[in-house]
Structure 1
């Protein structure tokens, strides 16, 4: 588990608030336009994208600011490939243009408490009253499969409701929740940041970060 994070500053003004799938699609389109046969035509499984933070207008848009960045995690031996490919790329995200500039490489930081803005699972249970229980059990099962020890819970939004989230994928809305995991050892914290929980990691889901970053998270 030798991975690094690349962070790109952005030039741009606005993005759709729900842009995880559109961001993935824009990066994939850029890959498919490259003639270099050594480059993949889709994002590999071991490359994880984070959605971009901004100031919400509460009408489905965010305004980019100095804290806004595109973040990705990949194996250390792939860093130069993605650093060079994405630097100065212009991505069209549902009609909103952003340029990726000033990349920097960072080491993951261990923390006993991690948070993810959105985690999703394919839940068979459709009784909405029972969804949080099944969802938390799926999170716990995910931790168990990774051999991690930690306490998982769904936090509340500022209005006191459970932090329920949705992800738009084409014409489908996927239900998920924000997740916090406490009581992690340093090693377990890094493992969770690499593997995440749930699916759809190319769309920004299951991306965990230290809780102190919460003010800057998407």
Structure 2
């Protein structure tokens, strides 16, 4: 299955820093026709990235020229997402953005990919054992996708493990930033298209080449 990435420029000023679930909810509330499943959800193949911006460290990010709304989908759905989302106004907890000037692109291979946040449902989130179980979950998920690569937990700006959280309906869902190395071209594209872990409609499991950079908070 071939995938396309759709990128929209944005009109707006600010967003909540933790906006993954709010972004998903705002899109889900749109009239998307046949792009929704019978139970009013998105197909599992859809990946949505969180929007980058400049953080104020008080729970808000300011949009800039690099801010984009990005969605990856099977190529046969791309023109429909393009058409349905163009010029839509999204309300993310009172912060309004308009999606404009969409562009289509194809994910490019890289032997090293990063994700800001990957989540798995661990039975027990113990600060001592969680990294081990988390990496085991990463390796199992890669194997299930028949991807050969070596996963690592990323480090934050202080040099600590990049432990991060996504708030969904008032509950914090924990995960880590992840780096996957030693990927060949085919596996690199596959990982970008299918992602890793859960909550991929909320910005989790989105992988990008390290040379691309990612300014999402």
Q: CA RMSD in A?
A: 1.2
For residues 215 and 82 of structure 2, what CA distance do their matches in structure 1 show?
22
For residues 216 and 159 of structure 1, what CA distance do their matches in structure 2 show?
17
Residues 127-166 of structure 1 aligned to structure 2 (within 5 Å)? 127-166=126-165
Residues 125 and 134, structure 1, Cα contact 8 Å, conserved in 2: no
Relative to the length of structure 2, the TM-score reads 0.95
- The corresponding residue for 2:96 is 97
Tell me the CA shift for residue 210 of structure 1. 0.4
Residues 1-218 of structure 1 aligned to structure 2 (within 5 Å)? 1-31=1-31, 38-40=34-36, 41-218=40-217
Structure 2: which 5+ runs fail to align? none
Tell me the CA shift for residue 126 of structure 1. 3.0
Look up the SS of the partner of 1:153 in the other structure.
strand
Q: Which 4+ stretches in 1 moved above 4 angstroms?
A: none
For residues 136 and 94 of structure 2, what CA distance do their matches in structure 1 show?
38
For residues 5 and 124 of structure 2, what CA distance do their matches in structure 1 show?
35
Deviations 1:155-192 (A, max 9, x none): 11111111110000011110000000011000000111
Tell me the CA shift for residue 142 of structure 1. 0.7
Residues 120 and 198, structure 1, Cα contact 8 Å, conserved in 2: yes
The count of aligned residue pairs is 214
Relative to the length of structure 1, the TM-score reads 0.95
